[in-house]
Amino acid sequence: MNKITEFDELDRRILVELQRDGSQSNAELADRVGSSGPSCWRRIKLLQEAGVLSKNVWLVDPSRIGQGVNVICSIRTKSHSAEHTHAFEAFVRAQDRIIECLSMSGEWDYQVRVVATDVADYEAFLMQTLLKHESVAGASSYFALKVIKYETAIPLPD
């Protein structure tokens, strides 16, 4: 995989626009960033090959589909061995309701973000699935009262 360490102004405009609206056509994107269609397409392909752009998705509002409970769960594992780490991370990847997972420094080993229909739904997941995994030693859950800010766009370095 190539690594892009510097972006020119056109790359920056393309990245900002694609993070704002990934559904626009190449012609619309080229017009918005001040480029020709073929040049814009080549830049996007280079950004994809370099791993800067990974996928194009539509974001779903969890509350509008009955998944309005947002829980941050800190997890401590029983062991830091490679075997336990791989097993736990594979388990997390297989859980649809875990929508984000971070390996942490400090007191907790992982922090996951879980969506659920209600508190009882989360409790069932916690007790019957998460805490039953062989690698998990303990967990602490924090329920979000409301989402103040949620962004998917990554700020570009100067």
Domain boundaries, the chain: 1-59, 62-143
Span 62-143 CATH architecture? 2-Layer Sandwich (3.30)
CA distances from 30 to 9, 39, 66, 124 (A): 13, 8, 37, 48
Q: What is the pLDDT of residue 1?
A: 46
Q: What is the pLDDT of residue 6?
A: 75
pTM: 0.86
Torsion-angle region of 66 (φ positive above 0: left; ψ -120 to 50: alpha; else: beta): left
Q: What is the pLDDT of residue 4?
A: 58
Fold of 1-59: Arc Repressor Mutant, subunit A (1.10.10)
Contact 75, 91 (CB under 8 A): no
Tokens of 140: 């602490």
Low-confidence ranges of the chain (pLDDT < 70): 1-5
